[in-house]
C-alpha cells in the first residue's frame, strides 16, 4: 500500500474508532463487538508502528486508559499496573507463542498457567507488616483512586495476612493485584432489593461494582456485596514464589480468594489451548462473570525477561471467548399474546450462528424498546445470546442503514382474537383488551396447572391445548369437571394415565389457598404476594370483597397490584370462574393455620425424605407425616425410623441402607398412616 492510502486508511480507522468509543462510553450503545473494536484498533496500531509519522495527537492509540475520579484521593502505584493483549482464536494464541519464542532460546520449554479473566475491575491492595494499608483502583496504570475504606467492606479482602494463623509469614510489604466483582447471585439479590424498594434496577454488574467501589460513603459500598479475587503480586519486600502457579497457591494460603475451580497449569501449549477453547462452554457455570481466560507463562523470571509492549506484558495473553453477539438482518416482527394479555414482539431474523447455535428468532422485549431504539424492518441488528438467556436484539446498526428500512408497525388489534389493543400506563407494553381472548385463556390455563401454581401433574402445555381445542374445557375451572371418560378417547391417554391425572386434579382442589390465588395469574400477584393476601384475608371471598383501599393496607401490596386485584375480581368472567371452582369443591379458605393432628400413628417416629415421590410433593409428604405425629429431619442417622424414598434418591438412601434403616415408598408411607 502506498503511504497515501495508508494515511487515508489510518484517518478512516481513527474516525471510526472515535465514534465507537463515544457510543460505548457515552451512549452505552455500542454497535460493534469488542472483538471488532480490537481488530480496528490493532489495524491502526500496526500502521502507526510501521509509519510513526502518521500518528496524530488525537489518535485513539495515544489515549492512556484511565478511570480516575476527580473527587477521590490518589495513590501512586509502586509499579505500572499493566493490561493484557487479546487473542480470539487458537491461531492468535499460537501467534503469541511465536512472537515470544523469538525472544527466547530456541529450545525453551514453557509451562502455562490458565486463569479466569474476571469481568470486574482491577484493585491493588497494599499490606505493611501484614496489615492492609491501602487499596486503589487501576486509574491510569500509574496513579489510582484511593478506595481503602470501601475495599475494607469487602469480606474477601483480608484486613490482615496471613488471615489464618497456619498461613505463611507475610513479607514486610506486599502489594497484590486482583479483581473486584459481583457474584451473579449477589448482583441478582441486589436488584431484587432495588425492585422491592421501588428503585431503578442496575443494568450491568461490572459498572455497578465500579460505582460501588468508588462511593464516597463506605456505608453504601457495604450494602453492595462485592467479592475480590486475587491473581498477582505487584511488589514484595521479602521472598515470594518464582512461578505464577505457586503465587496463586501462596496468595490462597495468605488468605486471598483465588479462582481454584478454573486455574490449571500445563507443560505444553496444545493442552493449554485445548483447555482454554473448551472452557467457553462452561463459562456460565461459574458463580461470577468471565469474558475469557488468561494464559500466563508460569516462570515469573521468564515473564519478566519477556518485558512489555506498550501496556501489555508479553508473558501473558487474554483469550477472549467467541463473541456472543452477531449482526444480522431483521426481517419481520411477530407479536405473541401472554397470559395477562401483554403482546410481546419477537424478531424474525436472517439465520445467524452465535456461539455454535443458529439463531433465527430473538426477543425484542417490548414495544417501548422498538420505539426507543428506533428498530426498523430491514435493519442490520446486533443480536446477543449469552448462556441460557433467550437471544435478544441489542439494537440497530445505524451506519448500515440504506434508507429502505421501514418502521415496525404497532398492532392495533390482537393478532389472535382481533380485539383492540391498549397501552399500559407506562406505555411500555401493549395488551389485548379482551379477557376472553382464546390465547390468553390458554396461557392462563397452562399457568394454572403448572408446577409453581396448582401443580397438576400429568397435564402440560400440550394437554391443555388439546383439551381446549376439543372443547372439553373452556377455562381454568373446567379442569375440575373433567371425567375419566373425557380423557380415554384422547391420544396418549390410557387408563393409567387418565387415572393418574384424575388423582392429581382431585389433589389440586386442596392446595393451600395462596397457591390457588397465585395460580389465578392476576397481574402483580406472585406467590409471595399471594401469601401476604392469605395472611390478611384468610379466604378467597374476603379477598374478592376487598376494596382497593383495603388492599393497599396489606403489607407487600402496592397501589398497582391493589388496582389489578380489584379489577380482576370485578370482571364477570372471573366471578363466574370462582363460582365454578366453589361448585367443584375447590378449597377457597385458608386451612393451613388450623392446628391439625389427624392421628398420632407416627408419634415418636423420625422420617427422612429423599428423591421424587410418584404423587406427593415433598411438602405434602412432610405435612402428612407431621399431621400424624411424626417428625421429618434432613439427615439420616441411627435415630431415623424410616427413610421415604422416591425416584432418583440421593446419598441418603445409601446411608440408610448402610445403617439398616427401613425404607418406605410412597404407598408404604400412606399405608402406615391409613392402615389399621
**Nearest approach, Cβ of 357 to ligand IVH (angstroms)?**
27
Between β-strands 642-645 and 606-610, what pairing exists: parallel, antiparallel or unpaired?
parallel
**Nearest approach, Cβ of 24 to ligand IVH (angstroms)?**
15
Q: Which is nearer to ligand IVH, 39 or 55 (CB)?
A: 39
Shortest CA distance to 204 belongs to which of 450, 2, 24?
24
Strand partners, 516: none
Other CB atoms closer than 10 Å to residue 425's CB: what's the count? 8
**Nearest approach, Cβ of 81 to ligand IVH (angstroms)?**
7
Q: Which is nearer to ligand IVH, 144 or 158 (CB)?
A: 144
Q: DSSP letter string over 430-473? A: EEE--TT-HHHHHHHHHHHHSTTTT--TT--HHHHHHHHHTTS-
**Nearest approach, Cβ of 207 to ligand IVH (angstroms)?**
14
Q: Which is nearer to ligand IVH, 84 or 190 (CB)?
A: 84
Active-site residues, by number, are 117
Q: Which is nearer to ligand IVH, 266 or 568 (CB)?
A: 266
Whether the Cβ atoms of residue 641 and residue 662 lie closer than 8 Å to each other: yes
Q: Whole-angstrom Cα distance, residue 325 to residue 319?
A: 17
Q: Whole-angstrom Cα distance, residue 556 to residue 526?
A: 11
**Nearest approach, Cβ of 116 to ligand IVH (angstroms)?**
6
**Nearest approach, Cβ of 245 to ligand IVH (angstroms)?**
13
Whether the Cβ atoms of residue 381 and residue 327 lie closer than 8 Å to each other: yes
Whether the Cβ atoms of residue 317 and residue 294 lie closer than 8 Å to each other: yes
Q: Whole-angstrom Cα distance, residue 125 to residue 148?
A: 9
Termini Cα distance of the chain: 96
Q: Which is nearer to ligand IVH, 118 or 642 (CB)?
A: 118
Whether the Cβ atoms of residue 414 and residue 421 lie closer than 8 Å to each other: yes
Q: Which is nearer to ligand IVH, 313 or 391 (CB)?
A: 313
Q: Which is nearer to ligand IVH, 89 or 503 (CB)?
A: 89
**Nearest approach, Cβ of 79 to ligand IVH (angstroms)?**
9
Whether the Cβ atoms of residue 17 and residue 44 lie closer than 8 Å to each other: yes
Report the greatest alpha carbon distance in the chain: 100
Residues near ligand IVH (CB under 6 A) are: 82-84, 115-118, 122, 179, 231-232, 294, 313, 316, 318
Q: Whole-angstrom Cα distance, residue 306 to residue 315?
A: 6
Amino acid at each position: 500500500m502506498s503511504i497515501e492510502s495508508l494515511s487515508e486508511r489510518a484517518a478512516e480507522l481513527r474516525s471510526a474508532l472515535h465514534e465507537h468509543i463515544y457510543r460505548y462510553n457515552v451512549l452505552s450503545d455500542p454497535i460493534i463487538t469488542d472483538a471488532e473494536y480490537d481488530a480496528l484498533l490493532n489495524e491502526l496500531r500496526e500502521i502507526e508502528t510501521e509509519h510513526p509519522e502518521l500518528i496524530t495527537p488525537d489518535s485513539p492509540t495515544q489515549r492512556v486508559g484511565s478511570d480516575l475520579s476527580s473527587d477521590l484521593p490518589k495513590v501512586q502505584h509502586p509499579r505500572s499496573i499493566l493490561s493484557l493483549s487479546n487473542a480470539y482464536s487458537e491461531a492468535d494464541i499460537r501467534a503469541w507463542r511465536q512472537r515470544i519464542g523469538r525472544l527466547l532460546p530456541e529450545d525453551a520449554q514453557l509451562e502455562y498457567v490458565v486463569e479466569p479473566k474476571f469481568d470486574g475491575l482491577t484493585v491493588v491492595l497494599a499490606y505493611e507488616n501484614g496489615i492492609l494499608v491501602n487499596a486503589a483502583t487501576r486509574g491510569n496504570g500509574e496513579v489510582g483512586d484511593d478506595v481503602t475504606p470501601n475495599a475494607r467492606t469487602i469480606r474477601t479482602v483480608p484486613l490482615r495476612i496471613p488471615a489464618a494463623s497456619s498461613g505463611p509469614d507475610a513479607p514486610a510489604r506486599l502489594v497484590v493485584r486482583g479483581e473486584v466483582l459481583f457474584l451473579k447471585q449477589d448482583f441478582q439479590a441486589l436488584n431484587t432489593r432495588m425492585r422491592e424498594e421501588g428503585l431503578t434496577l442496575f443494568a450491568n454488574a461490572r459498572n455497578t461494582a465500579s460505582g460501588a467501589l468508588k462511593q464516597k460513603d463506605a456505608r453504601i459500598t457495604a450494602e453492595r456485596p462485592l467479592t475480590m479475587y486475587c491473581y498477582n503480586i505487584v511488589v514484595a519486600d521479602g521472598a515470594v514464589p518464582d512461578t505464577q502457579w505457586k503465587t496463586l497457591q501462596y496468595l490462597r494460603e495468605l488468605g486471598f480468594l483465588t479462582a481454584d475451580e478454573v486455574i490449571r497449569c500445563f507443560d505444553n501449549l496444545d493442552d493449554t489451548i485445548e483447555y482454554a477453547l473448551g472452557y467457553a462452554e462452561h463459562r456460565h457455570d461459574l458463580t461470577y462473570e468471565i469474558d475469557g481466560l488468561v494464559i500466563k507463562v508460569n516462570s515469573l523470571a521468564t515473564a519478566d525477561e519477556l518485558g512489555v509492549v506498550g501496556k501489555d506484558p508479553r508473558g501473558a495473553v487474554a483469550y477472549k471467548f467467541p463473541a456472543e453477539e452477531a449482526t444480522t438482518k431483521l426481517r419481520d416482527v411477530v407479536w405473541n399474546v401472554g397470559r395477562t394479555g401483554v403482546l410481546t414482539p419477537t424478531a424474525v431474523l436472517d439465520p445467524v450462528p452465535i456461539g455454535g447455535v443458529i439463531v433465527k428468532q430473538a426477543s425484542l422485549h417490548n414495544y417501548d424498546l422498538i420505539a426507543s431504539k428506533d428498530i426498523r424492518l430491514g435493519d442490520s441488528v446486533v443480536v446477543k445470546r449469552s448462556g441460557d438467556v433467550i437471544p435478544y436484539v441489542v439494537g440497530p446498526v445505524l451506519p448500515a442503514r440504506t434508507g429502505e428500512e421501514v418502521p415496525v408497525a404497532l398492532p392495533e388489534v390482537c393478532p389472535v382474537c382481533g380485539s383492540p389493543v391498549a397501552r399500559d400506563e407506562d406505555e411500555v407494553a401493549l395488551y389485548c383488551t379482551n379477557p376472553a381472548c382464546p390465547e390468553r385463556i390458554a396461557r392462563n390455563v397452562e399457568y394454572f396447572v403448572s408446577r409453581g401454581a396448582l401443580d397438576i401433574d400429568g397435564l402440560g402445555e400440550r394437554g391443555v391445548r388439546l383439551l381446549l381445542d376439543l372443547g372439553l374445557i373452556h377455562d381454568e375451572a373446567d379442569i375440575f369437571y373433567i371425567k375419566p371418560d373425557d380423557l380415554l378417547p384422547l391420544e396418549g391417554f390410557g387408563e393409567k394415565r387418565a387415572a393418574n391425572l384424575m388423582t392429581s386434579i382431585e389433589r389440586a382442589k386442596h392446595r393451600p389457598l395462596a397457591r390457588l390465588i397465585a395460580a389465578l395469574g392476576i397481574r402483580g400477584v406472585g406467590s409471595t404476594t399471594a401469601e401476604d393476601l392469605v395472611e390478611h384475608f384468610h379466604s378467597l371471598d374476603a379477598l374478592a370483597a376487598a376494596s382497593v383501599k383495603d388492599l393497599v393496607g396489606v403489607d407487600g401490596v402496592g397501589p398497582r397490584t391493589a388496582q389489578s386485584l380489584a379489577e380482576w375480581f370485578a370482571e364477570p368472567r372471573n366471578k363466574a370462574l370462582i363460582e365454578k371452582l366453589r361448585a367443584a369443591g375447590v378449597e377457597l379458605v385458608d386451612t393451613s393455620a388450623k392446628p391439625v393432628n389427624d392421628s398420632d400413628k407416627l408419634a415418636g417416629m423420625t422420617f427422612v425424605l429423599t428423591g421424587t415421590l410418584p404423587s406427593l410433593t415433598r411438602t405434602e409428604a412432610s405435612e402428612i407425616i407431621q399431621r400424624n405425629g411424626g417428625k421429618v429431619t434432613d439427615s439420616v442417622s441411627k435415630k431415623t425410623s424410616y427413610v421415604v424414598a422416591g425416584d432418583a434418591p440421593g446419598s441418603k438412601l445409601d446411608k440408610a441402607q448402610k445403617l439398616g434403616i427401613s425404607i418406605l415408598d410412597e404407598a408404604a408411607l400412606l399405608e402406615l398412616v391409613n392402615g389399621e
